[in-house]
Amino acid sequence: MIKSVAGVAILPKHRLSCHCGAVVLELDLPDGIVNPRRCDCSICRRKGAIVASVPLSGITVIQGGEALKLYQFNTKVAKHYFCAHCGIYTHHQRRSFPDQYGYNVGCLEGVNPFALEPVPLNDGVNHPADRQG
Ligand SMILES: [Zn+2]
């Protein structure tokens, strides 16, 4: 658990915003940033974002719910949300753990995601749900 990044405290209720500011979410982060990671699946390799996890109850939309667009592909289990105005990925409901959201660490107010390096890589190409036998 990461409670501060380069001197910036991760608040128990920390705000997350898209680039244009239309979308503002409040995250419950009592344990700070949990399980930050990159992923090499087909969508994450294009986004390039560092992602961390919260339970589904851990995200409240403060502003801009109408600006959030949903993108789904393949098995259509995961729900990927982004701002319709600036295009920035904010969060997604995970496929491997549907009781969790992943969120864009780079959207946390005041947090420089590059200060987290090194960040582990998730093996998203070989998704657990795609492995057989
Ligand atoms: Zn936006």
Q: Where in the chain are the domains? A: 12-112
Distance from Cα 126 to the centre of ligand 1, integer Å: 31
> 98 CA to middle of ligand 1, Å?
25
12-112 topology per CATH: 2.170.150
Listed in sequence order, the residues at least 6 apart from 84 whose beta carbon sits closer than 8 Å to its beta carbon are: 22, 67, 68, 69
User: Is the pTM for the entire model greater than 0.85?
Assistant: yes
Contact present, 17 and 88 (Cβ < 8 Å): no
Alpha carbon of 132 to ligand 1 centroid (Å): 39
Rounded to an integer, the average pLDDT of 4-22 is 97
The string of pLDDT tens digits covering residues 62-110 is 999 999 999 999 999 999 999 999 999 999 999 888 999 999 999 999 9
pLDDT on residue 133: 46
